[in-house]
Structure 1
Amino acid sequence: MNSEKKGELSELKASLRQFAGSRAPGSTEAKRELFKKVISYMTIGIDVSGLFTEMIMGSGATSDLVLKKMCYLYLCSYAASNSELALLTINFLQKDCQDEDPMIRGLALRSLCSLRVKNLVEYLLGPLKTAIRDSNPYVRTMAAMGILKLYYLAPASCNEGEFVPALKRLLMNDPDPQVVANAVCALQEIFDKEAESGSGPNVNGKDWLLSKEVIYTLLNRIRDFSEWAQCIILALAAEYVPQEPDEIFDIMNLLEDRLQHANSAVVLATTKVFLHLTMSMADVHQQVYERIKAPLLTLISTGSPELAYAVLSHLHLLVTRAPMLFAADYKHFYCRFSDPSYVKKLKLEMLTAVANEANTYDIVTELSEYAANVDVVIARESVRAVGQIALQSYDVNGIVDRLLQFLDMDTDYITAETLVLVKDLLRKYPEWAESCVAVIGGVSHTAVSEQPAKAALVWMLGEYGQDVPDAPYVLESIVENWAEEESETVRLEILTAVAKLFFKRALECHRLLGRVLKLGTEDGNQDVHDRALLYYRLLQQGADVAQKVINPEKRAVNEFAETQSSEAKDRIFDEFNTLSVVYRQPSFQFMAKEQPKAGASSEEDPATPTGVLQGGGDFAHQELLSGAEKEEVAAPPPTASNGAETYSAPNVLDIMSGPPANGNAASVSGDPFATSTGAPVADNAPSSSGGGAGGLDDLLGGFGGQSTSQPQPPPPAPALQLVPRPTLDAGTFQRKWGQLPVGQAVEDSFAPAALAKLTTPQALLRHMASNSIACMASGGNAPTFRFFFYAQNADASGFFLVELIVNTAKGTASTKVKAEQAHLVEPFVQMYRTALQSF
């Protein structure tokens, strides 16, 4: 701090002392100006802790509420970092807690509980006990939240002081709705915290909060609460499990008018209650969909763009679960000119989702208009939407014509998107090849610059090149630019397309195939190199063998891979009315708790599982790694013997000059698939230093060679020991779950005593953790709960991943086990089942 600021603070301190005990006319306004200046200095980061005594003196001698508020803000800002100064505030704040003005009493109590100094906890207990019985509801409101602050500061003192029973009395009996709402919020946090830690007198407190008596008490008064409080109570009601069907209808009738509320959060929270209560009643659940349709569509039309996006995200989730829900209301999802791009994009997804036989023509017509949109992103998305509808088998005839008309627009990005979609369309509907290829043949490859579109065009030229007269020559001109092609995907497609076309038009593609194989084996990308080498090896084995692998009989693709599994959608549905729906991810993926590093010491209770996250998610269908990194092997590429003259040879194998590994020259007869007559190369043949065909043979270890070694029986399963407290982060779990196959699936049954414990799933998590099996995620609602566990081998050589689905109504437990070491699956399953059955 410079000398100028120090001088200002000295003057400010003297002024505060001057007006400290003054009650003269105008002194209150002067104190306000001084206090404002102190708060402004504090806001910009200047240390004004030296004015602590003067601030207390200045506000202690006045009953002005504005001065009190500024003083309380100052005290709370500096008390946590300086416990000695905080001690000076106790008498001042305790005195204000007994003030005649209830606003001052409430503000003083809030400030007293916000000091966050453990040494001062004993001074909070008396004012809190008094405030809970205060006649003014504002003071009781502050007391409810003050108990929660006390719990986070000193849980033992909170429990010993009988504050939790006091909160329960406020919840059940207090006439003021805001006091009840704060009591609900405080109790919910306390019960969740103790359930997570697995200790404390209120570890099963959530069961009381979700009891029929409490839920009915809150719902009967829901109209009296603020919108914020209504959302909290509705979220609590969504977790309630009715014991009788009549309760479901009672709650729905009670909340019927909440669907017409002006606040969107209340409407969505009520929708969640209706959907979750009727999950086990299929007919009623369908009627609920019909009932919630009108309120949600109204929110889209009348709300802000941000609100429309949030509601559309929830509608999209509902449509994926019940596709016919909004089929007749598709016009609500037409894009308006004033809609921002993010809303338009989501509306296009909705139009794709609601398309069926009855509305496909109208939807595709509307989407075709969007293809001319000046917004490039929306134009692309509209073309993709048309293609997605075509893949859903709705009126394919008209949609194909629409897609092909997009090529006439002569727009680069529209042409690129159309080519990719036509490729997918031909994979599913080969019968449309004649119409599509006739148009695709007129597309110039020089006008296609985007890599996915270029790869799609090359694929079609290879797959249907017999119907395109210029296909070999188009591919030849593309091969000319091999060195400039940056995408390995396009180079792989070129390899495959030329190889396929060779079997259909051999004379025209003979030299082209030889050239492409040579370029491929010399390519720096390992995938391209390996595929070219594979094709070369297959051609050595003969025409029939090569054709079966490279150019097999076409089969229509009935189903394309979903971007998200139904299991993941179910998990997101469990978190309805949260950000999980907007992000389209279970909450654990963007709220994952930080895991301790392997080998690091942990202060946690060993019985407490690390990384327990509610909600869960689909580990197998999220962003997984594409696979293990390939080892970079510098394989010696084949070299040509006479440069360009090599391509004039009639035999495709002649492009790989140099004798094969067996020392015999390849045949140069008219048969383009003639191979050497020598013996096959052994698996352990040495590498050829010349880099010719022999070098290629050696790289694969002798393609076609026979191994004389006999298969060895698997070793016996060793004894298994687990790490007591395994550590694994959520991202690694997700990746491993997607990569590993299911090692074993088992079914078990739960005893009635065990099912009774499952009313609190945390009990199972603690039990499994005590058996060295930790929980990564858990979620679900009665009667179905889902858990993901993991364990680690004691020598840290691998992990075991487990999915457990428990149905409390049937008393069954279904388990899938995946392991990095397959031979340890059986002993682990035995250990796991023993732990599960002892629960």
Structure 2
Amino acid sequence: MAMFLAYIPPDYGLHRMTIQGKVAELRAELNSGSKKDKNFTQKKIALKKIVANMTMSNNEMVSLFPDVISCMQIQSLEIKKIALALRTMSYVHVKEFVEATVPLVKRLLRDADPYVRKTAAYCVAKLLNQLLRDDNPTVVASALASLMDIWERSETIKLTLDYSNASKMVAILPDCSEWGQTYILEALMSYVPQESGEATLLAERIAPRLSHSNSAVVLTCIRVMLYLMNYIADEKQISALCRKLSPPLVTLLAKGSEVQYLALRNALLILQRRPDVLRNDIRVFFCKYNDPIYVKVTKLELIFMLANEKNIDEVLTELREYATEVDVHFVRKAVRAIGKLAIKIEPAARRCINLLLELVSTKVPYIVQEATVVIRNIFRKYPNQYESIIGVLCEHLDSLDEPEAKAAMVWVIGQYADRIENSDALLEDFLYSFAEEPVEVQLALLTATVKLFIQRPTKGQDLVPRVLKWATEETDNPDLRDRAYMYWRLLSTDVNLAKQIVMGEKPPITAESEKLDPQTLEEMCLNVGTLATIYLKPVQTVFQAHLAHVPESSHL
């Protein structure tokens, strides 16, 4: 029979006996109870030796773990701080260690010293980390949920995943419960792809979750895919993934009003970040008669975002219906959307204006007022193009009783004072109530009167001194007073210079003011499906504002 002999160094037995002797010596030092050693110097030295040995990968020190535990009962801050040894020992995957650690850590988490509590928290995270290799998907998902909770509440602990672990988590997704899938998907946000191929493969593998019946799974999956797209270099692959995001968002619109609203708010964000999503799905956002007002208003925002030259006729037909509904708030929003579309889509401006004039002819006061506001903006966008409709607006001056609408009409009269035959008389009618008007209207009247004088000096020479006197001597508002003084000095110094300033070119006006700044948009896309996307504000802002109103006793 062949025999295989293992090579044993000559001094192996001696080495083994030396280690065992060292362990026995350290155990004796840890358990010594000399009354003369009141500062526990011997125990401190022994603990430091154990830490040093563990650092040198001397695994024999594991057998001393129960003795270390007994030392933790000693009321000495220095000895407690040597609980740092737990961090080192927690790397050793030994069943006995885990069983001995759990009760200790539970006690250390309530220790009076914050350093001990912090170190115990690290240990908990490492114990949970071992469960990530469990064979049961539910256990893995629960461990992830706990780790993420610790990570979110700690400033020093960070959850990180490599591709191997991320891939394993994706593999068990189909075997997890719906909430387990949510935990795993959220954890994937801690994975940073090192190359485009990794991000693409993971995105493709989690894409089937988009068809899940649970809304939380769908929205979390969308969030992860948007995150992974940031690491994908191929634009064709990004476009393909974007097309996959459209059907699940549309499906969510068939659910209850609350889920619909959440999906709509997130769609607003996604469209700003990835315009390819939902590009051809504008009809799914058309309002239903029984939609709650908050759903209707959000759908209206999406219709505006998706409107283009190809579908503008269909959109205007829909908006005409909205402008005749009974809900005043929604009607105002619809009328304003028509005006904004005239600014957004220049080839459709005339069609939008014709619809606005059609709505103004109904003589419904709130429709007239909203139309006046948006037509003012249209004049600013397209100077010297649509002034022929000013006469129609002037026929409905009696309908204007809201500050924004009044200010808009006054702006039109002042800007086109040389084209409106009775512009001086119209302004004088508004000036009768100058003292009672809000500052917004007073500022508009002041500027319009100066414009009248500059364009038609003989018509405005009586009005200007009167308005400037009111604005400088009979008002307490510093903005109004300062502007009046500025105009007075300009007119007194050089009328031509005043004309260049007051009648100068206006800043360009756009209909895209609702867009978020890039940094906030990026943060919002990383929080798809959360409360922050409802408010369209950063997470810290939302939850700080929320907690500020919660009594301290109710904090968890």
In structure 2, C-alpha distance between the alignment counterparts of 1:419 and 1:391, rounded to whole Å:
14
Cα distance, 1:326 vs structure 2: 2.5
* One-letter amino acid matched to 1:419: T
Cα distance, 1:165 vs structure 2: 4.2
Query: Residues 398 and 323 (structure 1 numbering): CA distance in 2 closer, same or farther, change over 3 Å?
Result: farther
In structure 1, C-alpha distance between the alignment counterparts of 2:278 and 2:170, rounded to whole Å:
30
- Corresponding residue number in structure 1 for 2:129: 168
- Corresponding residue number in structure 2 for 1:562: 513
Cα distance, 1:533 vs structure 2: 1.6
- Corresponding residue number in structure 2 for 1:391: 343
* Corresponding position: 1:529 with 2:481: yes
RMSD: 3.0
Alignment of 1:195-594 (within 5 A): 196=155, 198=156, 203=157, 206-207=159-160, 210-280=161-231, 281=233, 282-300=235-253, 302-394=254-346, 395-444=348-397, 446-485=398-437, 487-522=438-473, 523-552=475-504, 554-555=505-506, 557-559=508-510, 562-563=513-514, 564-592=516-544
Cα distance, 1:570 vs structure 2: 1.9
- Cα-to-partner distance string for 1:89-135 (whole Å, 9 max, x where unaligned): xxxxxxxxxxxxxxxxxxxxxxxxxxxxxx9xxxxx9xxxxxx989x
Aligned partners of 1:323 and 1:353 also within 8 Å: no
- Cα-to-partner distance string for 1:729-782 (whole Å, 9 max, x where unaligned): xxxxxxxxxxxxxxxxxxxxxxxxxxxxxxxxxxxxxxxxxxxxxxxxxxxxxx
- Cα-to-partner distance string for 1:171-223 (whole Å, 9 max, x where unaligned): 202x33332222222223334555x1x4xxxx4x623xx12232222221112
Cα distance, 1:167 vs structure 2: 2.4
Aligned partners of 2:239 and 2:276 also within 8 Å: no
Cα distance, 1:561 vs structure 2: 7.3
In structure 2, C-alpha distance between the alignment counterparts of 1:543 and 1:161, rounded to whole Å:
75
In structure 1, C-alpha distance between the alignment counterparts of 2:395 and 2:545, rounded to whole Å:
55
Cα distance, 1:148 vs structure 2: 9.3
Structure 2: gaps spanning 5 or more residues: 1-74, 76-85, 87-93, 548-556
- Corresponding residue number in structure 2 for 1:188: 148
4+ runs of 1 displaced by more than 3 Å?
A: 146-166, 189-194, 322-325, 558-561, 592-595
TM norm structure 2: 0.74
Aligned partners of 1:430 and 1:556 also within 8 Å: no
In structure 2, C-alpha distance between the alignment counterparts of 1:236 and 1:575, rounded to whole Å:
13
The structure with more helix, counted as a fraction of residues? 2
Secondary structure of 1:578's match?
coil
Aligned partners of 2:242 and 2:276 also within 8 Å: no
Alignment of 1:629-708 (within 5 A): none
Aligned partners of 2:322 and 2:330 also within 8 Å: yes
Cα distance, 1:303 vs structure 2: 0.5
The structure with more strand, counted as a fraction of residues? 1
- Cα-to-partner distance string for 1:304-346 (whole Å, 9 max, x where unaligned): 0000000111111111223353332111010001100000000
Query: Residues 192 and 502 (structure 1 numbering): CA distance in 2 closer, same or farther, change over 3 Å?
Result: closer
In structure 2, C-alpha distance between the alignment counterparts of 1:431 and 1:442, rounded to whole Å:
20
Alignment of 1:727-738 (within 5 A): none
In structure 1, C-alpha distance between the alignment counterparts of 2:352 and 2:404, rounded to whole Å:
21
In structure 2, C-alpha distance between the alignment counterparts of 1:594 and 1:454, rounded to whole Å:
37
Query: Residues 561 and 251 (structure 1 numbering): CA distance in 2 closer, same or farther, change over 3 Å?
Result: closer
Secondary structure of 2:159's match?
helix
Structure 1: gaps spanning 5 or more residues: 1-118, 120-124, 126-131, 135-139, 596-839
In structure 2, C-alpha distance between the alignment counterparts of 1:481 and 1:192, rounded to whole Å:
58
TM norm structure 1: 0.50
Cα distance, 1:475 vs structure 2: 0.7
Alignment of 1:17-32 (within 5 A): none
Aligned length, in residue pairs? 445
Query: Residues 249 and 373 (structure 1 numbering): CA distance in 2 closer, same or farther, change over 3 Å?
Result: same
- Cα-to-partner distance string for 1:635-668 (whole Å, 9 max, x where unaligned): xxxxxxxxxxxxxxxxxxxxxxxxxxxxxxxxxx
* One-letter amino acid matched to 1:287: A
Aligned partners of 2:243 and 2:276 also within 8 Å: no
Aligned partners of 1:462 and 1:500 also within 8 Å: yes
Cα distance, 1:238 vs structure 2: 2.5
The match for 1:153 among 110, 130, 134 is 110
* One-letter amino acid matched to 2:148: Q
Query: Residues 244 and 481 (structure 1 numbering): CA distance in 2 closer, same or farther, change over 3 Å?
Result: closer
Cα distance, 1:477 vs structure 2: 1.5
Query: Residues 439 and 556 (structure 1 numbering): CA distance in 2 closer, same or farther, change over 3 Å?
Result: farther
Alignment of 1:824-839 (within 5 A): none
Identical pairs, percent: 31
* One-letter amino acid matched to 1:240: Y
Query: Residues 461 and 253 (structure 1 numbering): CA distance in 2 closer, same or farther, change over 3 Å?
Result: closer
- Cα-to-partner distance string for 1:16-50 (whole Å, 9 max, x where unaligned): xxxxxxxxxxxxxxxxxxxxxxxxxxxxxxxxxxx
Aligned partners of 1:172 and 1:214 also within 8 Å: no
Query: Residues 181 and 561 (structure 1 numbering): CA distance in 2 closer, same or farther, change over 3 Å?
Result: closer
Aligned partners of 2:252 and 2:260 also within 8 Å: yes
Secondary structure of 2:421's match?
coil
Query: Residues 148 and 246 (structure 1 numbering): CA distance in 2 closer, same or farther, change over 3 Å?
Result: farther
Aligned partners of 2:418 and 2:456 also within 8 Å: yes
* One-letter amino acid matched to 2:508: V
- Cα-to-partner distance string for 1:771-797 (whole Å, 9 max, x where unaligned): xxxxxxxxxxxxxxxxxxxxxxxxxxx
In structure 2, C-alpha distance between the alignment counterparts of 1:227 and 1:150, rounded to whole Å:
34
* One-letter amino acid matched to 1:404: L
* One-letter amino acid matched to 2:317: T
Aligned partners of 1:279 and 1:285 also within 8 Å: no
Query: Residues 582 and 425 (structure 1 numbering): CA distance in 2 closer, same or farther, change over 3 Å?
Result: same
Query: Residues 412 and 147 (structure 1 numbering): CA distance in 2 closer, same or farther, change over 3 Å?
Result: farther
In structure 1, C-alpha distance between the alignment counterparts of 2:104 and 2:303, rounded to whole Å:
50
Alignment of 1:805-816 (within 5 A): none
* One-letter amino acid matched to 1:397: R
